[in-house]
Structure 1
């Protein structure tokens, strides 16, 4: 599922900034291939958190996920010298994704994934080794 698009990025951050961070030669034209790769990486990062709690792909994309994916992609496009505001927005997005994964914050309009019995979500319990046995207690 694609959370943010080139149009979302342009609307949020402007064509000039996107050209500067995607066009590795002149910094004058948005390189759609570079931007698409960053958006794809952002989608994968968002999914890696959401998959812990939600069935993917989501039925619809909440606006908050568009914003977070855009912030993640923008951060990834700055190879070196990430501005503090860009870094902070990335860290805020990851923090919110962690809270969504833990269930502290819900993704609007999405249903949590259903745990299946016997699968990887099964709870396994190991009891401690016996200290006493019936044979030991028979003499008392």
Structure 2
């Protein structure tokens, strides 16, 4: 299951941009190369799965809107063969930061099969040892 589709890329970024990024034939064929788009979407899915696999059961039963948004942002970045527009590059970096937060659990996805990670560090610690420095042991120094 892919997180985004070619049609969603066209709807968000426009037919012209997707055509310009994917039509790599010489001379240009004048149509979107679905193979190029599929390769970028597959790479995007693998990247997203890498962040999700430690926290969620994969494959996801349904794709949350946040993941679709991040997948589109990453895929359009990956379609660029040369330096992308600064806005696209900044959006890509923000998408990676968002995926890191999802992987850490800061951002929670509304899906079934969430696996919360237990860090083991939450809660009060109690020590039953005697204090090494007290009024009785420091007699003469206080």
TM-score range, shorter chain: 0.7 to 0.9
Alpha-carbon separation, structure 1, partners of 2:51 and 2:41 = 16
The runs of 5 or more residues in structure 2 that have no matched partner are 118-142
Aligned length: 115
Aligned equivalent of 2:70: 68
CA offset at residue 81 of structure 1? 1.7
Deviations 1:5-24 (A, max 9, x none): 01110100111000100011
Q: TM-score, normalised by structure 1?
A: 0.77
State whether residues 19 and 27 of structure 1, in contact with CA within 8 Å, keep that contact through their aligned partners in structure 2: no
TM-score for both structures, normalised by structure 2: 0.76
Match in the other structure for 1:128: none
Q: Which of 49, 55, 61 is the aligned partner of 1:47?
A: 49
State the distance in 2 between where 1:57 and 1:99 align. Answer: 19
| Structure 1: 5+ residue stretches without partners | 116-140
RMSD: 1.5
Deviation >4 Å, runs of 4+: none
